Amino acid sequence: MKSKLPLALLILMGIFGITSRFIPHPGAEALNAYLRDTLLRIISAFALILGLGNLILRHWSKIKKKEENYGSSYVLLISLTVTAIIGLFGGTSGEGILPTRIGEFSFDVNTLYDKVMIPLGATMFSLLAFYMASAAYRSFRAKNTLAFLLLASAFIVMLGQVPLGQALWSELPSVSHWIMTVPNTAAKRGIDLGITLGVTATLLKILAGIERSWLGGGS
Amino acid sequence: MSAEVVWVWVGAFLTLCILSFLYRDNPFYRFGEHLFVGVSNGYFVAFMFHRVIRPVMLEPFWGAVQTAGESGLSWELFNPIAPQNFLLIIPGLVGCLYFTRFIPGTQWMVRIPIGIFMGYYTGLSVPAYFEGTVFPQMRGTLVTQSDFSAAAGSSSIDGIWALVVLLGVLGTLSYFFFSREHKGIWKVGAKTGIVFVMVGFGASFGFTVMARVSLAIGRFLFLLRDWLGVIS
């Protein structure tokens, strides 16, 4: 019961999912629209709440046990609570019951997204440029032909996208474009095909009930 | 001080907090990092409530309650496809099963919403992967007469590059095919494939670095132009 019921539901829903593409009947289409746009959307919203619960519990326990750097957990919990309250009661653009504007100063969730999340996210991802460059400097060595090819294509693509590359050799952007559209496309396409066929095989194993690791441990 | 100026100062402070990690891990970086996680999750709570829970579940359910109060119960209120119906409570209850994970003895019930969600999207993904990836990629790899034809807007050099792409795809596939030992023709294929793979990885690396550099330039531009006003 504890494993068979979820497995039976998975197989049943899997059949609905697969057949949705092959049955152009209005009834079947309405059923699939209901499953996709209502049932599964609501269930996925609850999954987010579960993830959030785990995050809150993890940081709450960090604060209670006074683990290393527990002060940061206060920042996370307070910012999460404040943003959620502003978003839930203030609406996404300040149309809710909670006022999200003091004079000219607006602090609705869309503003928080633009003014807090975007600067933080963009800077965090830009940090990777420094670490990738530093890692490349330490590890890129043209020890053999293949390593040289990797190094050369990386340099050509990087130089081909900046004015310096064009100043060094006017044809460099065209070479960079050729690398991206011919050898890179060939390698990516081969890898994509391999990954997709592998993923599809795994999905079919899940649907057939052969792959059951998603059920987790226990009976 | 206008609202825009306040937000520019906030953005500059947060940017500097994150950039401080270049020196080493420090409280300012941890502040920025945890603030990012907190605000992102708070934003998605609001987003999910306003875009899913309220319009898809609460409002139609409340509408059904009001209709039942005004004109009594009818079968239409139990039609799952009707815009206002009581059956919307079912997905809500199924979603609540996620929380059984925290109740000892009932943890297995968390598998029910997972099974429903995974099952449908697993089934939906199988034909979608073929339609969206396998067939278009195979179609793009095929070399036809039109690749060489001037009438179709191509030139003979385009046809040659199409042949190179075909060779590269076959080589890459044979390099990653581990069910047979790389001997004879497989060895030739694998040797050709690894050349394409290395060039492809190099190009992807270069492209990713440039994308990140572009983000870094954007942040420095923000600091120097919007915040300090050093450049125009």
CA nearest B216 in A: which residue?
A126
pLDDT tier, A215 (very low <50, low <70, confident <90, very high otherwise)? confident
Put simply, the answer to whether A193 touches B200 (Cβ < 8 Å) is: no
- The 10s digit of each residue's pLDDT in B34-55 is 999 999 999 999 999 999 889 9
* Four-CA torsion A159, A160, A165, A167, nearest 10 degrees: -170
Taking contacts as CB-CB distances below 8 angstroms, the residues of chain B near A182 are: 161, 164-165, 168
Q: Please name the helix (run of DSSP H) or strand (run of DSSP E) that holds residue B175, with its range, or none.
A: helix B156-175
> B137: buried, middle or exposed (CB in 10 Å: 19+, 13-18, 0-12)?
middle
Write down the pLDDT at residue B76: 82
Write down the pLDDT at residue A133: 82
Write down the pLDDT at residue A97: 87
Structural domain tally of chain B? 1
Taking contacts as CB-CB distances below 8 angstroms, the residues of chain B near A47 are: 95, 98, 113, 117
Highest mean pLDDT pick, A77-81, A95-99, B98-102, B140-144: A77-81
For residue B154, pLDDT over 80 is answered with no
Interface confidence (ipTM) of the complex: 0.86
CA distance A108 to chain B (A): 10
Domain assignment of residue B214, yes or no = yes
Write down the pLDDT at residue A130: 87
Interface membership of B112 toward A (CB under 8 Å): yes
Domain assignment of residue B135, yes or no = no
Taking contacts as CB-CB distances below 8 angstroms, the residues of chain A near B201 are: 150, 187
- The 10s digit of each residue's pLDDT in B97-125 is 999 988 888 889 999 999 999 999 999 99
For residue B151, pLDDT over 80 is answered with no
Residue B188, domain extent: 154-232
For residue B4, pLDDT over 80 is answered with yes
Q: What average pLDDT does chain B have?
A: 91
pLDDT tier, A118 (very low <50, low <70, confident <90, very high otherwise)? very high
Write down the pLDDT at residue A218: 56
CA pair distance B114, B107, nearest whole angstrom: 12
Read off the amino acid at residue A32.
N
Write down the pLDDT at residue A210: 92
CA distance B70 to chain A (A): 25
A103 vs A153, which has greater pLDDT? A153
Write down the pLDDT at residue B28: 96
Choose the weakest-confidence range: A120-124, B74-78, B137-141: B74-78
CA distance B165 to chain A (A): 5
Cβ under 8 Å to A: B residues 59-78: none
- The 10s digit of each residue's pLDDT in A126-146 is 998 888 888 888 877 888 999
Interface membership of A50 toward B (CB under 8 Å): yes
> A15: buried, middle or exposed (CB in 10 Å: 19+, 13-18, 0-12)?
middle
- The pLDDT of B134-149, averaged and rounded, is 88
The domain limits of chain A are 12-67, 70-139
For residue A160, pLDDT over 90 is answered with yes
- The 10s digit of each residue's pLDDT in B163-211 is 999 999 999 999 999 888 989 999 999 999 999 999 999 999 999 999 9
Put simply, the answer to whether B206 touches A183 (Cβ < 8 Å) is: no
Write down the pLDDT at residue A217: 66
CA nearest B26 in A: which residue?
A69
Interface membership of A196 toward B (CB under 8 Å): yes
